[in-house]
Amino acid sequence: MRFPLFFPLVYCHRGWNHRTVTDNAGSITSPNFDYGRHNYPANARESWLIKSGDPRQHVLVQFTSYFAIEDSGNCISDSLKIYDGSNSSAPLLGVYCGIQRPPSTISSGSNLFVVFSSDSSAEETGFQAHYKGVTMEQSNINPMVRCGEYITADEGVIYSHGYPNLYDVNLVCMWRLTVNVGKSIQLTLRYLDIEDSKYCSRDSLTIAAVVNEDAENGLKTEHLRHICGKDNNHIEIDTKSNDIFVIFTSDHVSSKSGFEMYHNTGYAENACPSLTKLNETEGVVVTAVVDDEYDKMLNCAYLIEADPFNVVEIEIQGLISSSDCLQDNLGIYDGDTDHHRNIATVCGSPTPKIFTTTQDKALVVWHLDSTKKAQFYFRQKLNPFKSDLVEIPRPTFTTTTARITYPDKSHVTCVKCMHNVTRVDSNICRKNYIFEGQIRTPVKRIGEL
């Protein structure tokens, strides 16, 4: 399958050398880089946020042979750091200095953050690196080696290339494991022998769970492990996710015998977040698709929050469920909890219908026993019942007791603006109502009439 070309964007941290890339590949270099003819300056600090333009893309960075950064113990003087995310709070993939160039590095999500810094002592000629946005199918940089794939099976085994013999150098291998919603991928590292290094900067095995994937925010992941070294003990990892990446990279120097990883599935405690907040002006929600083997009930809640004085309109566009609403249903509530008025409870295969709240919040709860999928559309519009209301600033009040009755005896719920005991204006300045109880008279402040 061919995917459209998307261009990664590059931003230089703190506004230094800020630039936008207009092709699908580009380069970053240390300051004053001139292919070994000049040194970078002292006390330099530059950083680049490299963003892919599509959630199907990852950021791949490859370093050229022009790499020389002042060497020091644990790279505490001058260094190059790479983070798997959008800033320095993201998981650290490696720290580099000296003349041994870093391995090819790929992000688990849509962003990589690169930081270069130098101190006031010795300087070197610096570095040059090329980057590009790649899909998982394009991530394999060694044409002589076939590694990485999409896996949808509930169980199986993943090996490093050549296992149990030595793996190749200069590898980038990505596996994406996806199982049905409601299941959780469980991993067992039966064998691990990967070149050891500080921060696993050279060869490494990274396991990351997919957190979010959409066209606006790209692909976001959460690191579960970033490991190297040797361990003959079985390492058990419950990912608590149904969608994960397994990434193996090796540098240009030495190699070991690699890893063997068994994967299977268990059932998650809950296949959906307990509450998802939605505050867009409109949108479409497609609930998770659950397979027949899922044996736990689900309650997925969506809180839609509109702007003040707006209401929420919800249209059920599709529902695959039992016709018994006691088993499966999509409940719509006129407020932010299920204690508010139940506007509708829908099940079976209903025809599209629009439901409207009377306030600026709506709660939609998907209750699952055997439901496969639900889809609903929501939007907000101006509340016709509240659009003419005017808020009056709250004054300071004194309190007295009285009873005032007006002829039509309509009802008001609260009183803010009262000038005396013979005339009462409500919070929303309505006229003609009955009021019983305490009358609070505002205390005049300096400058008030």
Position 322 scores a pLDDT of 77
State yes or no: cis peptide before 143, omega within 30 of 0. no
Work out the number of other CB atoms within 10 angstroms of the CB of residue 274. Answer: 8
CA distance 221 to 108: 7
The full 3-state SS of 287-349, as one line of letters, equals CCCECCCCCCCEEEEEEEECCCCEEEEEEEEEEECCCCCCCCEEEEECCCCCCCCEEEEECCC
Work out the number of other CB atoms within 10 angstroms of the CB of residue 96. Answer: 23
| SS3 state of residue 68 | strand
Phi, psi of 312 (to 5 degrees): -115, 130
Position 271 scores a pLDDT of 60
Residue type (1 letter), 210: V
Q: How many CA atoms lie within 13 A of 342 on its CB side?
A: 9
Q: How far is CA 338 from CA 343, 362, 394, in A?
A: 10, 9, 32
The conformation of residue 369, written as its DSSP 8-state character, comes to: S
Position 291 scores a pLDDT of 57
CA distance 106 to 122: 30
β-sheet with 218-227: strand ranges across:
150-151, 171-178, 243-250, 204-214, 218-227
Position 45 scores a pLDDT of 92
Burial (CB < 10 A; 0-12, 13-18, 19+), residue 17, is: middle
Position 363 scores a pLDDT of 92
Token pair 């004194």: residue: 398
Domains of the chain in sequence order? 1-139 (2.60.120.290), 143-269 (2.60.120.290), 276-382 (2.60.120.290), 397-442 (no CATH)
| SS3 state of residue 83 | strand
Position 427 scores a pLDDT of 38
Position 375 scores a pLDDT of 75
Provide the Cα torsion 263, 266, 267, 269; round to 10°. Answer: -90
Token pair 């204690």: residue: 339
Position 244 scores a pLDDT of 96
Q: Do residues 42 and 123 make contact, with C-beta atoms less than 8 angstroms apart?
A: yes
Q: How is residue 348 written in tokens?
A: 């079976």
Q: How is residue 400 written in tokens?
A: 């007295």
Position 296 scores a pLDDT of 56
Q: How far is CA 373 from CA 94, 182, 272, in A?
A: 42, 13, 12
Sign of CA pseudo-dihedral 427, 433, 437, 441: positive
Token pair 């397994």: residue: 246
Sign of CA pseudo-dihedral 260, 266, 268, 271: positive
Q: How far is CA 126 from the centre of its chain?
A: 34
Positions of the chain with pLDDT lower than 50, given as ranges: 1-15, 22, 387-449
| SS3 state of residue 73 | helix
Work out the number of other CB atoms within 10 angstroms of the CB of residue 420. Answer: 10
Confidence (pTM): 0.64
pLDDT in tens, 238-265: 998 999 999 999 999 999 999 999 999 9
Sign of CA pseudo-dihedral 63, 69, 74, 80: negative
- CA-based end-to-end distance of the chain: 75
Position 397 scores a pLDDT of 45
Sign of CA pseudo-dihedral 193, 196, 199, 203: negative
Strand partners, 199: none
The conformation of residue 368, written as its DSSP 8-state character, comes to: E
CA distance 127 to 80: 9
